[in-house]
Structure 1
Amino acid sequence: MTIVPLIFTSGLASGINAYAVVLLLGLLGRFAGAESVPPALERTDVLVAAALLFLLEAVADKIPYVDSVWDLVHTVIRPIAGATVGVLMASHDPGSLGEVAAGAVGGTTALVTHLVKASLRMAVNTSPEPASNIAVSLLEDLSVGGLVTLAIFHPWPAASIAAALLAAGLLLVWLAVSRIRAFRARRRERRAARAQAHV
Structure 2
Amino acid sequence: MGIMEIIGIAGSVSLLAGWRLYLCIFATGLAMRLDVLPLPEHLASLSVLGNPWVLAIAAFGALAEFFADKVMWLDSAWDTLHTLIRPVGGALLALAIVDPSDPATQVVAFLLGGGASFLAHGGKASARAVVNASPEPVSNVVASSAEDVATVGLLWLAYEYPLAAGGIALILLVLALSMLWLARKIVRRVFFRTPEVGR
Q: Into which bin does the TM-score normalised by the smaller protein fall?
A: 0.7 to 0.9
1:123 aligns to 2:130 (yes or no): yes
1:4 aligns to 2:21 (yes or no): no
Q: 1:40 aligns with which of 45, 48, 63?
A: 48
1:37-70 residue CA offsets vs partner (Å, 9 max, x unmatched) = 6121111110010001100000001101210110
Matches within 5 A, 1:13-32: 13-31=16-34, 32=36
Q: 1:157 to 1:130 in 2, by over 3 A?
A: same
User: Which entry has the higher C-alpha Rg, 1 or 2?
Assistant: 1
User: What is the CA-CA distance between 1:97 and the residue it aligns to?
Assistant: 7.5
Asked if the contact 1:34–1:152 (Cα under 8 Å) also holds between the matched residues in 2, the reply is no
* Sequence identity (%): 34
CA distance in 1, matches of 2:29, 2:60: 14
Q: 1:71 aligns with which of 70, 79, 82?
A: 79
1:144 aligns to 2:148 (yes or no): no
Gapped regions of structure 1 (runs ≥ 5): 195-199
Matches within 5 A, 1:1-199: 1=3, 2-31=5-34, 32-35=36-39, 36=43, 38-91=46-99, 94=101, 98-186=105-193, 188-190=194-196, 193-194=198-199
1:81-113 residue CA offsets vs partner (Å, 9 max, x unmatched) = 001111122256x45972212211211110000
Asked if the contact 1:7–1:106 (Cα under 8 Å) also holds between the matched residues in 2, the reply is yes
Q: Kindly report the root-mean-square deviation, in angstroms, between the aligned alpha carbons of the 2 structures.
A: 2.1
TM-score, normalised relative to structure 1: 0.87
User: What is the CA-CA distance between 1:166 and the residue it aligns to?
Assistant: 2.4
TM-score, normalised relative to structure 2: 0.87
Q: 1:185 to 1:64 in 2, by over 3 A?
A: closer
Gapped regions of structure 2 (runs ≥ 5): none
1:132-184 residue CA offsets vs partner (Å, 9 max, x unmatched) = 10110011011110111111111232331332232133124313323432455
Asked if the contact 2:158–2:165 (Cα under 8 Å) also holds between the matched residues in 1, the reply is yes
| AA partner of residue 12 (structure 1) | L
CA distance in 2, matches of 1:166, 1:48: 30
